[in-house]
Homo-oligomer: A and B are copies of this chain.
């Protein structure tokens, strides 16, 4: 496998993985391209490299900036804008985990709380609904909190302790 093949393979794999992070293909591919680029890229560069339209590139770059994993870079003497992504994988994971928690997990926890708090009328089906959604609520909340802690700045000592435990 040569450089070009490896690059394409990486970008396409990372792209199809986007759904795991709740982001779309183009968004994931742009991030992947920036991630292995040795220098900031312009919109033109990205469009050409990934063969996607200007509009698509623009919209997805914006979303990546909203996620906090891509930033505009001003290159002195250049009119157009250049973009870079967070290059440190742990920092990247931190951003992604934080955003996912905020956008998707937290709202679900809230709903589970609401649903599990309905009045218990004593019927079997109500009891079951309350019991099961409560269990799901507690699990989700614990998992969310664990991931956020693991991935947060307190990371180091926790992660190291954990790795010792499980390795």
Using a CB–CB cutoff of 8 Å, the interface residues on chain A facing chain B are: 1-3, 6-7, 9-10, 13, 17, 19-20, 22, 35-38, 87, 89-90, 93, 104, 108, 111-112, 114-115, 118, 121, 123-126, 128-129, 132-133, 135-136, 138-139, 142-143, 145-146, 149-150, 158, 161-163, 165-166
Contacts and interface: CB of A to CB of B under 8 A. Distances in A.
Contacts of A10: 111-112, 115, 129, 133
A149 B162 CA distance: 11
Quick one: which of A10, A125, A145 has the most chain B CB within 10 A? A10
Quick one: which of A121, A129, A149, A161 has the most chain B CB within 10 A? A129
A161 B165 contact: yes
Contacts of A125: 3, 36-38
A39 to B, nearest CB: 9
Total copies of this chain within the assembly: 2
Contacts of A115: 1, 6, 9-10, 13
A163 B125 CA distance: 32
